[in-house]
């Protein structure tokens, strides 16, 4: 309680200093603010409310707001004053005819606050505004939330004694404040000190919105960096850059090199038809190149895909070049070459003194899915594009010319799709060993095509 | 079951029916139980008694049926391993379809019958029942372990301090929920949660989460009074996804185990004292 009273005194002092300067323009202004200042200064000087004037509660705006000169919304006010009986949703719908931006959203809030000093129906207005935020694109903007919180009249809902504190003073307004903070929390926006000051002025301390704010401020910093694979808030727009970022993320190897085999472009063929060439971005690390070089040419390699990768709300698809795990008799353990590294020995034959039972490995058989030789991302996952990728890979891995390559492509969405566009009905899941096991009835048929071992380079199909 | 109709005869005639041995009640067909049910019932009885016998004999071997030396020195334990179709029967899959939403979730065995594959679609349109505001989740939860005669049994992980699993996700953030046995009925929905961030990609990901990081929630709301999860009576573990991104998802799990990490000395990651004192 003391805190809010101090704030109140601070504010009143400020307003008093402003009062002298403000009175002349306030007298001319379309006037709620003017009336406010006049009333307030008179009450301070008088020490009590003037009985002749109407008993108006003091709806103080926060100190942050007094800095900016309230803009004149004369035309909007006239427009809306005629429709004084409309519900609050309609205020937003009127704006819907123009473009929905942050400026128009702020304008609507200003129109509402200037309209009535008593802020009638502010709870419904705030609920309607919270619902319309995603349409205006301001749901992740903290300043807009603070401005919306400013719609609440100040110091009216602060409990004055212990009975009011006990009995959930002004429950509807407290619930509305909590819902506003909950929407902020669900979008992951961290409130700042201005939010705290506003909440203290509006609701006081030890109220539900203040508690909710304290909980947000306790848990958000704890979980903000919990992700060991962080994703930037703003993903790159360019599909090639996005592919590069996601491939390096999946590759888990600093030495992996990203190669762009083809940039997206639109060609016009001789017949006049437009042909869009998709981008092809591939990644391969030196250890994968070595593994591919040692691969037995009798065993085929498979191009599988598309597999989904989600980053926040974007889903991209990638393709994988892999082989089946070698049967146990073919696995040979090559001894480490001691000349590979002179800094430290790569293989130690020491019997380290470990305690009985000090074994950190799990008693699970190691799953061997087979080596992965390369990955790629492309917007159009048909065989022609993937062929191009393989031919591009062949330049750095000549052994690919002798290894038969099989394509196992699932019939799923092939393009870079955002949220809500993905076709969930068709199976994007690949089923392994389709030619050995029976295919799952729910999945679509896959295209399995045998490629000729010889492959001319740079062929465009 | 309706009573069979007794023939209506005047009282004088009733006596004569006894003398003449006329039947008063029509013959009742004896109830036949289908043979399959009998066999199943007998199998169930056999199973329960076997479990009961095992419980009695296990006590003579050591705690939890293992010799005490092994129990004391145990450092890793694989709790769930997906190596065949019977391993899927221990898990329950549900999504917000139960409350009227449009998400789907299915569980099947993964490649080579060696892993479990949880897949489906999320849809965050809330059901139109007037009170649900957020929707779009799916979950996979293990079934409560049962002793003989379907009595509740608990996992005892008191000698371990880390949860370790090998997963292959698609980049989505999942949440691991551990549910422990509670005493009071209003603690029934107390779940200890932590995040499982998947990287995505074709490689397997080893995830190690110490139990000191799990925070207490009740019905999805993080609680103010936090305390570390009590590991001596753990009921279920679950994975849930609700990241508000509509679209298909998939998660492949190889195994779930618990281990004792001697290097991890933290007891609890969050403040356990009262942080929001009452008015």
Whole-angstrom distance, CA of residue A334 vs CA of residue A328: 14
Contacts of A428 in chain B (CB under 8 A): 248
Q: Are B122 and A424 in contact (CB under 8 A)?
A: no
Query: From the candidates A364, A377, A412, which should be mutated to test the interface with B, based on the most B CB atoms within 10 A?
Result: A364
* CA–CA distance, A199 with A30 (Å, rounded to integer): 28
Q: pLDDT for B234-249, tens place per residue? A: 999 999 999 899 999 9
Rounded to whole angstroms, the Cα distance separating B226 from B271 reads 7
Q: Is the pLDDT of residue A399 over 50?
A: yes
- The more confident residue out of A116 and A356 is A116
Which is more confidently placed, B207 or A414? B207
Q: What is the C-alpha to C-alpha distance for residues B79 and A345, in angstroms, rounded to an integer?
A: 37
Question: Poorest-confidence range of A411-420, B19-28, B250-259?
Answer: A411-420
Q: Are A6 and A31 in contact (CB under 8 A)?
A: no
| Burial of B195 (C-beta count, 10 Å sphere; 0-12/13-18/19+) | middle
Q: Do A320 and B202 touch (CB under 8 A)?
A: yes
What pLDDT, on the 0 to 100 scale, is given for residue A343? 79
Distance between CA atoms of residues A229 and A399, nearest Å:
34
Please tell me if residue B246 touches chain A, with a CB cutoff of 8 Å: yes
Query: How many Cβ atoms from other residues are within 10 Å of residue A2's Cβ?
Result: 7
Mean model confidence pLDDT for chain A? 73
Least confident window among A350-364, B68-82, B186-200: A350-364
CB-based contact B157:B222 (threshold 8 Å): no
- Check residue A461 and give its pLDDT: 34
* Partner A, chain B 21-40, Cβ-Cβ below 8 Å: none
Q: Which of A133-147, A191-205, B10-24, B30-44 has the lowest mean pLDDT?
A: B10-24
pLDDT band at A47 (very low <50, low <70, confident <90, very high): very low
> For residue B32, what pLDDT is reported?
77
* Rounded Cα distance, B167 and B205, in Å: 5
User: Residue A437: pLDDT band by 50, 70, 90 thresholds?
Assistant: very low
| Contact across the interface for B115 and A367, Cβ inside 8 Å | yes
- Give the phi and the psi of residue A231 in degrees, each rounded to 5: -115, 130
Residue showing tokens 């949703």: A89
Most confident of A81-90, B126-135, B270-279: B126-135
**B chain contacts of residue A364, beta-carbon cutoff 8 Å:** 78, 81, 166, 254-255, 257
Beta strand pairing call for B190-197 and B221-222: unpaired
* Beta-sheet strand order (sheet of A301-311): A257-262, A280-284, A372-378, A314-323, A301-311, A405-409, A447-450
Query: Does the distance separating the beta carbons of A313 and B245 come in below 8 Å?
Result: yes
Nearest-CB residue to B78 (from A206, A362, A428) = A362
Q: What is the largest CA-CA distance in chain A?
A: 103
Residue B111: its pLDDT value, please? 81
Tell me, what's the pLDDT at A69? 38
- CB-closest option in A307, A311, A363 to B78: A363
The pLDDT of residue A368? 78
Banded pLDDT at A116 (limits 50, 70, 90): confident
Report whether pLDDT(A331) > 80.
no
pLDDT at A268: 77
Looking at the complex, does the CB of residue B78 fall below 8 Å from at least one CB of chain A? yes
| Cα(A304)–Cα(B254) distance, integer angstroms | 21
pLDDT band at A99 (very low <50, low <70, confident <90, very high): confident
**Minimum CA–CA partner of B167 in chain A:** A367
Nearest residue to B219 via CA among B184, B278, B179: B179
The string of DSSP letters for A398-461 reads GGGGTS-EEEEE-SS--S-B-TTTS--SS-----TTTTTSPPPTTSPP-EEEEPPS---TT---
First to last CA, chain B: 62
Partners of B115 on chain A (C-beta within 8 Å) are: 367
Instruction: Give the C-alpha separation, A87 to A148, whole Å.
Output: 17
* Disruptive mutation site among B125, B166, B171, B205 for chain A (greatest number of A CBs within 10 Å): B171
Query: Which B-chain residues 108-167 have CB contacts (< 8 A) with chain A?
Result: 111-112, 114-115, 117, 119, 121, 134, 164, 166
CA dist., res. A308 & res. A293, Å (int): 28
**pLDDT tens-digit profile of A22-36?**
444 444 444 444 334
Interface subset of A 171-200, CB within 8 angstroms of B: 186
Q: Which of A127, A148, A143, A136 is nearest to A94 (CA)?
A: A136
Chain-wide mean pLDDT for chain B? 88
Superfamily covering domain B75-259: Galactose-binding lectin (2.60.120.430)
DSSP string over A155-208? SSSS--SHHHHHTTSSHHHHHHHHHHHHHHHHTTPPP-HHHHHHHHHHH-SSSH
- Are A362 and B255 within 8 A, CB to CB? yes
Is A424 in contact with B81 (Cβ distance < 8 A)? no
Of A116-120, B20-24, B53-57, the poorest mean pLDDT is in B20-24
Token match 């999945």: residue?
Answer: A443
Q: From the CB of residue A22, how many other CB atoms can be counted at a distance below 10 Å?
A: 20
- Identity of the residue in B121, B171, B279 whose CB atom sits nearest the CB atom of A309: B171
What would the mean pLDDT of A371-389 be, rounded to a whole number?
88
Residues of chain B with CATH 2.60.120.430: 75-259
* Cross-chain residue pair A309–B201, CB shorter than 8 Å: yes
Of A250, A309, A310, the CB nearest to B245: A310
Mean pLDDT in residue range A379-393: 87
Q: What are phi and psi of B258, to 5 degrees?
A: -120, 145
| Greatest mean pLDDT among A267-271, A385-389, B183-187 | B183-187
Please state, in angstroms and rounded to a whole number, the distance separating the CA atoms of residues B204 and B198. 10
Please indicate whether, in this complex, the C-beta atoms of A219 and B76 are within 8 angstroms of each other: no
Find out whether B121 and B104 touch, Cβ atoms under 8 Å. yes
Segment A259-279 mean pLDDT: 80
Place of tokens 């329960």: B48
């Amino acid at each position: 309680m003391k805190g809010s009273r101090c704030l109140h005194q601070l504010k009143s002092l400020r307003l008093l200093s402003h009062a002298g300067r403000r009175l002349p323009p306030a007298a001319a202004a379309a006037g709620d603010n003017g009336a406010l200042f006049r009333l307030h200064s008179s009450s301070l000087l008088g020490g009590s409310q003037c009985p002749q004037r109407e008993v108006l509660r003091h709806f103080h705006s926060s100190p942050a707001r007094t800095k900016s000169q309230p803009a004149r919304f004369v035309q909007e006010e006239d427009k809306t004053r005629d429709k004084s009986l409309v519900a609050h949703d309609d205020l937003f719908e009127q704006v819907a005819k123009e473009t929905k931006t942050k400026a128009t959203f702020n304008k609507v809030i200003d129109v509402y606050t200037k309209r009535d000093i008593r802020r009638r129906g502010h709870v419904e207005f705030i609920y309607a505004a919270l619902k319309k935020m995603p349409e205006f694109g301001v749901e992740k903007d903290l300043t807009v939330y603070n401005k919306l919180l400013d719609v609440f009249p100040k110091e009216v809902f602060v409990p004055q004694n212990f009975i009011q504190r006990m009995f959930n003073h002004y429950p509807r307004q407290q619930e509305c404040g909590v819902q506003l903070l909950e929407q902020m929390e669900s979008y992951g926006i961290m409130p700042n000190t201005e939010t705290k000051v506003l909440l203290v002025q509006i609701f006081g301390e030890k109220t539900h919105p203040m508690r909710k704010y304290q909980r947000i401020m306790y848990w958000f910093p704890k979980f903000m960096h919990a992700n060991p694979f962080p994703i930037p808030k703003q993903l790159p727009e360019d599909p090639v850059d996005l592919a590069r970022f996601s491939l390096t993320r999946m590759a888990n190897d600093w030495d992996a090199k990203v190669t762009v085999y083809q940039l997206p472009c639109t060609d016009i063929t001789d017949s006049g038809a437009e042909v869009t060439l998709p981008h092809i971005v591939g990644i391969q690390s030196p250890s994968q190149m070595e593994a591919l070089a040692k691969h037995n040419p009798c065993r085929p390699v498979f191009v599988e895909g598309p597999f989904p990768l989600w980053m926040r709300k974007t889903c991209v698809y990638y393709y994988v070049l892999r082989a089946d795990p070698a049967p146990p008799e073919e696995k040979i353990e090559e001894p480490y070459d001691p000349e590979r590294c002179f800094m430290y020995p790569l293989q130690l034959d020491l019997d380290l003194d470990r305690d009985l039972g000090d074994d950190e490995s799990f008693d699970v058989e190691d799953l061997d899915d087979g080596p992965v030789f390369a990955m790629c991302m492309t917007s159009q996952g048909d065989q022609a594009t993937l062929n191009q990728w393989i031919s591009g890979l062949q330049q750095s891995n000549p052994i690919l010319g002798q290894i038969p390559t099989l394509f196992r492509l699932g019939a799923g969405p092939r393009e870079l799709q955002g949220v809500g566009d993905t076709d969930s009905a068709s199976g994007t899941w690949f089923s392994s060993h389709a030619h050995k096991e029976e295919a799952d009835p729910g999945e679509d048929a896959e295209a399995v095509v045998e490629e000729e071992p010889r492959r001319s380079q740079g062929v465009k199909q | 079951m309706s009573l069979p109709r007794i023939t209506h005869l005047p009282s004088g005639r009733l006596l004569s029916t006894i003398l003449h041995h006329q039947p008063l009640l029509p013959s009742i067909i004896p109830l036949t139980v289908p043979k399959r049910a009998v066999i199943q019932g007998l199998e169930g009885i056999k199973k329960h008694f076997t479990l009961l016998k095992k419980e009695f004999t296990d006590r003579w071997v050591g705690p939890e049926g293992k010799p005490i030396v092994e129990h004391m020195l145990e450092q890793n334990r694989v709790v769930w391993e997906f190596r065949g179709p019977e391993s899927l029967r221990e898990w329950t899959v549900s999504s917000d379809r139960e409350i009227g939403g449009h998400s789907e979730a299915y569980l099947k065995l993964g490649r080579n019958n060696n892993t479990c594959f949880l897949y489906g679609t999320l849809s965050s349109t809330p059901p139109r029942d007037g009170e649900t505001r957020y929707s779009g989740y799916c979950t996979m939860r293990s079934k409560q372990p049962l002793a003989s005669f379907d009595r509740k049994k608990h996992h005892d992980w008191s000698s371990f301090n880390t949860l370790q699993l090998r997963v292959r996700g698609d980049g989505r953030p999942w949440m691991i929920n551990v549910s422990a046995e509670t005493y009071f009925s209003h603690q029934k929905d107390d779940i200890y949660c932590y995040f499982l961030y998947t990287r995505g990609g074709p490689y397997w990901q080893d995830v190690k989460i110490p139990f000191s990081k799990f925070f207490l929630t009740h019905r999805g709301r993080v609680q103010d009074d936090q305390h570390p999860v009590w590991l001596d009576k753990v009921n279920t573990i679950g994975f849930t996804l609700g990241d508000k991104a509509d679209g298909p998802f998939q998660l492949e799990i190889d195994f779930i185990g618990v281990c004792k990490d001697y290097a991890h000395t933290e007891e609890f990651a969050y403040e356990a004292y009262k942080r929001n004192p009452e008015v």
